[in-house]
Structure 1
């Protein structure tokens, strides 16, 4: 059994210790914000923070996470209000959204250690692949998030959605059969 703290909660995975953290998070913990992209650490879609450092969860095993603190996109902020999330919205640096969780995690880890990074440092710290090509807006968003964290600027992004992530989907009663119509059958 591999034990760690995930998003502030103790977790025990009864899985092969060599299981990549990515699959334990997605399949066993149902934390699907961490995305599978390439499986070899190149794309960054699976980035999480382990003890505050941005790591590719497809490359680290649950055995290597024993006793460590893991933060996923779901644990970064309950209401999507983290400055990096808000700045990405403000700068319109989100397109299809597939790479966004990994970018947010890399950006948050960068700003936790340096709230005033230059463009070169941002590009080095966030090497994520984005098929939509948001890179220029991404740099501006990280700089904006840094200014917000330093309280030099207020984010003007849309407020976080009013629906908590855990409440976004819930069971509803079945709709039943389709209503009858006046269209004659068999003609």
Structure 2
């Protein structure tokens, strides 16, 4: 079946199977930042925005995204680079496998939360898993990026 999407501000028509997940559709479209790792919808590696809200693209059938605006990290290069520089400065970058989904969540958090507490930041990121860090460097980077103490 054919669906129409706006992916990173570009209108796209795609033929998809009725059981195809959005993560697979995006990857087949060349958006390789969207990853699948856990197959249980709990690692956050597949995080993209649908209509500016973060979602797990491995849990959404592509047909459900018909007519929607999809944003991946490729569509936010300036914002992603700004946060990535802060991650690096805080010593929080590691292998990078989880970075695209994690960064998409942090960018969404910046758009949604005003002056969040540490507890609110941690709660917002529940489900974004990183196997390389202890999260403290990432938390410092997020606080710096959001301008909170």
CA distance in structure 2 between the partners assigned to 1:119 and 1:141 by the alignment? 12
CA shift for structure 1 position 134: 4.1
Q: Residues 86, 124 of structure 1: CA spacing in aligned structure 2 closer, same or farther, 3 A cutoff?
A: same
* 1:168 equivalent in structure 2: none
* 1:111 equivalent in structure 2: 110
TM-score by length of 1: 0.73
Q: Which has the larger radius of gyration?
A: 1
* 2:48 equivalent in structure 1: 48
Higher relative contact order (CA 8 A, sep 6+): 2
CA distance in structure 2 between the partners assigned to 1:79 and 1:54 by the alignment? 15
Moved over 3 A (4+): none
TM-score by length of 2: 0.90
* 1:84 equivalent in structure 2: 83
Gaps of 5+ in 1: 151-187
CA shift for structure 1 position 115: 4.3
Aligned pairs, number: 146
What's the CA shift string for 1:115-146, capped at 9, x where partnerless? 42211111111121111124111111111111
Q: SS at 1:63's partner residue?
A: helix
Gaps of 5+ in 2: none
CA distance in structure 2 between the partners assigned to 1:12 and 1:103 by the alignment? 27
CA distance in structure 2 between the partners assigned to 1:122 and 1:79 by the alignment? 18
